[in-house]
């Protein structure tokens, strides 16, 4: 009867708590699993929190990159306006330069954006350091680093929650990524060099080249050690091809004029805009000055497009990370659901079964009590009267 009562009390306890297993001794194997699953759930919840933070930061970054795209597109429009070298006066160019300057500052402000925690979004690991400042020489420098913080968003998944300002604003390939053309302002003629193109990447020998006009119609191409690479006769608009690249000069270069075809390095957005502003505020009234400006604006447009591409690719990187996060979140929620249901299978009580069991135990106890009472009454002494 005591045993029956103990069993009944146990069932009653299960019904009251709704849990099948209340201590490891009840079912050691299940309880170890319960501990493990509870831990996995807590861990998963933390990954969820991490993922939410990463999503938040990446959304902020996406916004910043959108804003910088808008600013860069406006810069592009302004450069196109300035490209109209024949009709614009110096003062027109100055007013364009003024707007360009403010767009440059806007870009810098975007680069210096902070997130909700007051951390600079684009300074790599140095999130407490303002990444973009003008130094004493008026040049925008990057004070951050090239680090990119990653967050643990799954057991084996880590996702970068930022891009460094270096990779977004600074580390932009120059020219077409292989070489960059330029016309020195000292040229006396009206020759204009285009941005050129790569004909054969394999034939390209990285070096800084100069196209020197030895007369109005003859040119030679020399490398940095002044060795002759190529030479030819010049006619306006004809392509000059050497070492797998092709550039074309139009207009009428004077003897002694030179154009450079330099190996591409990197050029940051701020110095690009500063350069354009500087160039537009310089007077360009003579034909040769205007030709020179045209060469310059061709190069600047190309460089701006590189900046736009860089920003867009950073943005698509952020977008793909956001969509990866979404996939991870969905998978994690499924996993959590599964954990919850395993947990429930392990520790939750089957009420129907427990209530049936309780009824059976009650009947058994009552039967034991009733039969005891009947048997206990039986005594021979009752008949000794």
Partner 1 sequence: MANILSTGVSGLVAFQRALDTTGHNIANAATPGYSRQRTEFVTRQPQSFGSGWLGNGVDVSTVTRFYDELLGTQTRIASSSYSRLDSYAAKAQTLNNLFADTTTGLNASLQRFTNAVQGVANTPTSVPARQVLLSEATALTGRLQTYATRLNEIEGDINSRVASEAVSITTDAQALARLNQQIISSQSATGQAPNDLLDQRDRLLADLATHVSVSTVRQDDGSVNVFIGKGQPLVLGGNAASIVTTRDPFDTQRLNLAFQTPGGTVELGSTISGGSLGGVLDFRREQLDPARNTLGQIAVGITAAVNAQHREGMDLLGNIGGDMFTVGGVGVQGSSANAGSGTVTATRGAIGALTKSDYIMEFTSGGWAMRDAGTGANVPLSGAGTVGSPFTAAGLAIVVGGTPTVGDRFKVLPTAIAVAGMAVTITDPARVAAAAPIRTTATTTNTGSGQVTPGEVLDATNVALRNTTTIQFLTPTTYSVNNAGSYAYTSGTPINLNGWSVVISGAPSAGDSFVVSNNASGAGDNRNALALADVLGQGVLNGGSDSLNGAVGRFVGGIGVATNQAQANRDAQKIILDDNQTELDSVTGVNLDEEAANLIRYQQAYQAAAQIIRVTQTLFDSLLAATSR
Residues that bind partner 1 (CB under 8 A): 22-29, 31-32, 34-36, 38-39, 42-43, 45-47, 49-50, 53, 117-120, 123-129, 145-152, 158, 170-171, 206, 263-266, 379-381, 384
What is the smallest separation between the CB atom of 230 and partner 1, expressed in angstroms?
22
The answer to whether the beta carbons of residues 229 and 221 sit under 8 Å apart is yes
| Tokens standing for residue 212 | 């020197």
What is the smallest separation between the CB atom of 179 and partner 1, expressed in angstroms?
11
Residue among 43 and 255 whose Cβ is closer to partner 1 = 43
| Tokens standing for residue 41 | 């759930």
The Cα 64–Cα 85 span in angstroms is 33
Q: Which residues contact 10 (CB under 8 A, 6 or more apart)?
A: none
What is the smallest separation between the CB atom of 251 and partner 1, expressed in angstroms?
31
What is the smallest separation between the CB atom of 98 and partner 1, expressed in angstroms?
29
Residue among 137 and 265 whose Cβ is closer to partner 1 = 265
β-pairing verdict for 209-213 and 218-222: antiparallel
Residue among 160 and 195 whose Cβ is closer to partner 1 = 160
The Cα 231–Cα 141 span in angstroms is 40
What are the C-alpha distances in Å from 18 to residues 105, 360, 361?
64, 19, 18
What is the smallest separation between the CB atom of 169 and partner 1, expressed in angstroms?
12
The Cα 208–Cα 220 span in angstroms is 14
Residue among 106 and 145 whose Cβ is closer to partner 1 = 145
Q: In which element (H, E) is residue 77 found?
A: helix 28-82
The Cα 129–Cα 162 span in angstroms is 15
Q: Give the three-class secondary structure for 122.
A: coil
287-347 helix and 269-280 helix, angle to the nearest 10 degrees? 160
Residue among 28 and 237 whose Cβ is closer to partner 1 = 28
Residue among 32 and 337 whose Cβ is closer to partner 1 = 32
The Cα 44–Cα 47 span in angstroms is 5
What is the smallest separation between the CB atom of 119 and partner 1, expressed in angstroms?
6
Residue among 178 and 288 whose Cβ is closer to partner 1 = 178
Residue among 173 and 232 whose Cβ is closer to partner 1 = 173
Residue among 144 and 253 whose Cβ is closer to partner 1 = 144
The answer to whether the beta carbons of residues 218 and 231 sit under 8 Å apart is yes
The answer to whether the beta carbons of residues 41 and 336 sit under 8 Å apart is yes
Q: Give the dihedral sign, CA 50/52/53/55.
A: positive
The answer to whether the beta carbons of residues 280 and 93 sit under 8 Å apart is yes
What is the smallest separation between the CB atom of 6 and partner 1, expressed in angstroms?
10
What is the smallest separation between the CB atom of 126 and partner 1, expressed in angstroms?
4
Q: In which element (H, E) is residue 302 found?
A: helix 287-347
What is the smallest separation between the CB atom of 166 and partner 1, expressed in angstroms?
8
């Amino acid at each position: 009867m005591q045993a029956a009562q103990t069993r009944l009390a146990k069932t009653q306890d299960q019904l009251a708590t709704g849990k099948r297993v209340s201590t490891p001794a009840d079912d050691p194997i299940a309880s170890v699993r319960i501990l493990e699953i509870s831990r996995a759930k807590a861990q998963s919840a933390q990954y969820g929190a991490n993922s939410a933070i990463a999503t938040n930061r990446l959304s902020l970054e996406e916004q910043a990159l959108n804003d910088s795209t808008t600013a860069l597109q406006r810069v592009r429009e302004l450069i196109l306006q300035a490209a109209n070298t024949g009709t614009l006066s110096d003062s027109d160019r100055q007013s364009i330069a003024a707007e360009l300057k403010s767009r440059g500052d806007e870009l810098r402000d975007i680069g210096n954006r902070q997130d909700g925690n007051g951390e600079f979004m684009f300074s790599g690991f140095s999130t407490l350091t303002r990444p973009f400042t003008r130094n004493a020489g008026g040049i925008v420098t990057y004070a951050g680093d090239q680090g990119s913080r990653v967050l643990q968003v799954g057991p084996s998944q880590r996702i970068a929650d930022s891009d460094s300002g270096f990779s977004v604003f600074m580390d932009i390939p120059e020219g077409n990524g292989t070489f960059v053309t330029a016309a020195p302002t000292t040229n006396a003629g009206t020759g204009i060099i285009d941005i050129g193109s790569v004909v054969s990447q394999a034939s390209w020998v990285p070096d800084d080249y100069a196209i020197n006009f030895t007369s109005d119609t003859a040119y030679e191409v020399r490398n940095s050690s002044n060795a002759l690479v190529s030479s030819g006769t010049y006619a306006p608009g004809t392509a000059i091809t050497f070492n797998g690249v092709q550039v074309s000069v139009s207009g009428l270069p004077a003897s002694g004029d030179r154009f450079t075809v330099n190996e591409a390095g990197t050029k940051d957005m701020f110095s690009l805009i500063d350069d354009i502003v500087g160039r537009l505020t310089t007077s360009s009234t003579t034909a040769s000055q205007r030709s020179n400006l045209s060469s310059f604006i061709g190069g600047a447009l190309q460089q701006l497009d590189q900046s736009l591409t860089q920003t867009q690719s950073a943005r698509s990187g952020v977008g793909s990370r956001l969509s990866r996060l979404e996939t991870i979140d969905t998978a994690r929620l499924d996993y959590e659901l599964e954990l919850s249901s395993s947990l429930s299978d392990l520790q939750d009580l089957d009420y129907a079964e427990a209530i049936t069991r309780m009824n059976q135990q009650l009947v058994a106890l009552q039967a034991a009590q009733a039969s005891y009472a009947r048997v206990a009454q039986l005594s021979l002494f009752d008949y000794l009267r």
